[in-house]
Amino acid sequence: MSRIYRAAVVGLGRVGASYEAAPGAPPRTHVEAYLAHPRINLTAAADPDESRRVAFIERFGFQGPVYESAAEMADHQALDLVSVCVPARDTAGVVAEVLAGAPRAFLLEKPMAVDEHGARRLGRLLNAAQIPAAVNYPRSWDPAHELFFERMARAGRPLTARALYGRGLYNNASHLVALLHRHFGPGKRVSAWNPDQPGESPDPSLSFSLELERGFTAHFQGLDGTDFDLFDLEFILAGGVHSLLAGGCRRREARAVKGLFYPGYAHLSPESPFVTDGPLAGLSGAVDNLVAVLDDPAVPLAFDWRMGLEVLAVLDAVRESHRAHGRPCDVTPIELD
């Protein structure tokens, strides 16, 4: 008989517990993903905000203990898997508190930190603990995204990529950088485009170019002020364009067709969906992956904390290049020693 694992969620805000999902849609919150999994028993939760604790209990009819802090939870619970869904500035501190209870794995919300100090502290904690920790960049586990990249690999190698995003470097841009990292390796060098673009806010939407390990460059245009969630990624290949639109909820392919408009010229065919449009199913996949890792530690995580640190290193390099008026900056790994 398969083992049932004990899980908990720290942080009962939006992605932890309160996001709404359409009926029949994949889970959007850590709580829902655990409740839906046949091998997970959601045992406990924690949040310092009383209104969030009450809302969580009322929404899900939860009858287990709900604590005011991760430290209190760690004192009273023996847990296998813990989700940490707190503001990035607090992630390392919460992980330290949870580690006192000796969990076997983590599922961390992104970004894991907002500066190099926080990233280094978190990395040292996880490195010393030697336990698996996934980072919730959900497109790493979404089946439609996996199919998208499989199909694109058969079509050829990207010549370049173009990303349009809003809502911040550490928010939407971090998802895009993580997606490129998973499929094309770490970023090597960045160049900020516009030194006059405002960059003083805690999370600006900066424009930049990112040279990738696989030998092509992705160009990011950051733009705030839209009335919609701007999150698009296009890959230009020799034979067409492959696009992830609306945050990846739409996947499109447009192939070059000769004579479409003029004899002797090739233009792109109308874009066609190859899989039904719809919301991401990655969070459930992340839980599946972690259950498999708990069963067998040799199973790899699709996106782990070390990859998360490499994404943060790219974002730090973007900020550095922007401060240096667009001077290219190498992506420097965040050292843990």
Please write the tens of the pLDDT for every residue from 70-93. 999 999 999 999 999 999 999 999
Helix or strand holding residue 135 (H, E): strand 133-135
Sheet of 105-108, strands arranged across: 66-67, 40-46, 5-10, 81-84, 105-108, 133-135
Write the single-letter amino acid at 46: A
Cβ(183)–Cβ(176) under 8 Å?
no
Phi, psi (deg, nearest 5) at residue 257? -130, 125
pLDDT(228) > 90 = yes
Alpha-carbon span 106 to 136, nearest angstrom: 10
As given in the structure block, the two tokens for residue 317 are 């390099």
pLDDT value of residue 44 = 98
Alpha-carbon span 267 to 148, nearest angstrom: 22
- List the domains of the chain with CATH numbers: 5-139+282-302 (3.40.50.720), 142-281+312-329 (3.30.360.10)
pLDDT(95) > 80 = yes
Q: Which of 55-64, 209-218, 264-273 has the lowest mean pLDDT?
A: 264-273
3-state class percentages of the chain: helix first, strand second, coil last, to nearest 5: 35, 25, 40
Residue 304 DSSP code: B
Please write the tens of the pLDDT for every residue from 294-305. 999 999 999 999
pTM of the entire structure? 0.95
pLDDT(180) > 70 = yes
pLDDT value of residue 199 = 64
pLDDT band at 137 (very low <50, low <70, confident <90, very high): very high
136: helix, strand or coil: coil
Write the single-letter amino acid at 273: P
Give bridge partners of residue 255 from the DSSP assignment: 240
In order of 24, 186, 276, 294, the CA distances from 212 in angstroms are: 37, 6, 30, 32
Give alpha helix (H) positions in 156-277: 174-184
pLDDT value of residue 69 = 98
Alpha-carbon span 138 to 57, nearest angstrom: 25
Alpha-carbon span 190 to 208, nearest angstrom: 7
